[in-house]
């Protein structure tokens, strides 16, 4: 491989990796948000992402709803659906057993229900293209070639991340969410309504996933299996430390770039294993993840 090609691959790998990594980061954020407040890994996050994408597809393509209406409507549906699931299903499951394992199983159940629902509609029978909301004309960044859509994906993802940062840092509800994540009992003693906060976190997490779906769907083609992309988001969250929101963002970019560079410099076959190699390397060097806190040793 000559020097020019190495330089081209390097630039393209990093730029393309940052675009797709920004979407992994959003999904990782939505996973970490829920995990921080309820210590439940949401295994339905990928299907929430998929179902939101199909909801938008249905509105935009099959109902010819204008974009200005279809996008907010999709976000509202995602928010309401996830918040209701938290309120109706998880609260009941939690009351019934109190074991976190049952909550995890409930999220797995949600994933199957959503996948089944999309398949029942018939829209998931064939790979479908989601209309790009931004032009797909080419843009050069150095030697790397991407599209205007890629630029829009990256910038929108950054804007959502900035919004979430401001929400958690400067708003009362955001601080309440953080408090619930740190110590739910103390938060309740301070007057925080735990039920409401849990619903808000689930709803917000679904909205972030829905935005990720709106951004990436024009690039990856839609199928009922597209939620599988959440594997990358889990990898990103683990690399970042699983409880750290900035860690989830950095993890997303690490996984996105690693995938591309491994594909370019090692083998296309190795793309699927790249995220897991990244997880192993990070966990060997920093078992708590890049942004995880100190490793706590519990005395038993």
Residues that bind another protein (CB under 8 A): 5, 8-9, 12-13, 16, 20, 119, 124-129, 132, 136, 138, 145, 147, 216, 219-221, 223-225, 228-229, 259-260, 262-264, 268-269, 271-272
Query: Taking the complex as a whole, how short is the minimal distance between the CB of residue 154 and another protein, in angstroms?
Result: 14
Q: Tell me the CA distances in angstroms from 294 to 31, 209, 249, 288, 298, one per residue in order.
A: 21, 29, 19, 7, 12
Residue pointed to by tokens 């390397």 = 281
- Residue 168: CB atoms within 10 A of its CB come to 18
Query: Taking the complex as a whole, how short is the minimal distance between the CB of residue 241 and another protein, in angstroms?
Result: 24
How far is residue 52's CA from residue 55's CA, in Å, rounded to a whole number?
Answer: 5
Query: Taking the complex as a whole, how short is the minimal distance between the CB of residue 177 and another protein, in angstroms?
Result: 30
Instruction: Choose between 152 and 271: whose C-beta lies nearer to another protein.
Output: 271
How far is residue 17's CA from residue 153's CA, in Å, rounded to a whole number?
Answer: 12
Instruction: Choose between 167 and 273: whose C-beta lies nearer to another protein.
Output: 273
Instruction: Choose between 72 and 228: whose C-beta lies nearer to another protein.
Output: 228
Query: Taking the complex as a whole, how short is the minimal distance between the CB of residue 256 and another protein, in angstroms?
Result: 8
Instruction: Choose between 72 and 138: whose C-beta lies nearer to another protein.
Output: 138
CB 217 within 8 A of CB 63: no
- Residue 244: CB atoms within 10 A of its CB come to 20
Of 102, 93, 130, give the one whose Cα is nearest residue 215.
Answer: 130
Query: Taking the complex as a whole, how short is the minimal distance between the CB of residue 5 and another protein, in angstroms?
Result: 6
Instruction: Choose between 72 and 127: whose C-beta lies nearer to another protein.
Output: 127
């Amino acid at each position: 491989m000559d020097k020019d090609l190495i330089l081209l691959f390097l630039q393209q790998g990093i730029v393309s990796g940052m675009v797709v990594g920004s979407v992994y980061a959003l999904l990782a954020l939505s996973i970490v948000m829920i995990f921080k407040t309820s210590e439940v890994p949401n295994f339905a996050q990928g299907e929430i992402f998929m179902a939101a994408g199909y909801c938008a597809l249905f509105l935009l393509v099959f109902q010819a709803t204008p974009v200005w209406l279809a996008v907010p409507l999709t976000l509202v549906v995602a928010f309401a659906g996830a918040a209701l699931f938290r309120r109706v299903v998880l609260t009941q499951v939690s009351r019934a057993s109190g074991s976190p394992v049952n909550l995890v199983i409930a999220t797995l159940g949600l994933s199957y229900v959503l996948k089944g629902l999309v398949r029942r509609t018939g829209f998931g029978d064939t790979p479908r293209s989601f209309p790009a909301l931004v032009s797909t004309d080419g843009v050069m960044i150095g030697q790397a070639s991407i599209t205007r859509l890629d630029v829009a994906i990256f910038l929108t993802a950054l804007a959502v991340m900035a919004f979430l940062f401001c929400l958690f840092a400067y708003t009362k509800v955001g601080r309440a969410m953080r408090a619930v994540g740190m110590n739910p009992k103390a938060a309740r003693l301070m007057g925080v309504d735990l039920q409401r906060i849990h619903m808000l976190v689930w709803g917000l997490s679904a909205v972030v996933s829905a935005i990720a779906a709106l951004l990436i769907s024009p690039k990856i083609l839609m199928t009922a299996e597209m939620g599988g992309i959440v594997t990358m988001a889990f990898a990103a969250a683990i690399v970042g430390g699983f409880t750290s929101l900035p860690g989830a963002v950095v993890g997303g970019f690490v996984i996105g770039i690693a995938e591309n560079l491994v594909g370019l410099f090692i083998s296309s076959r190795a793309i699927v294993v790249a995220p897991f190699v990244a997880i192993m390397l990070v966990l060997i060097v920093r078992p708590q993840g890049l942004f995880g806190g100190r490793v706590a040793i519990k005395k038993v």
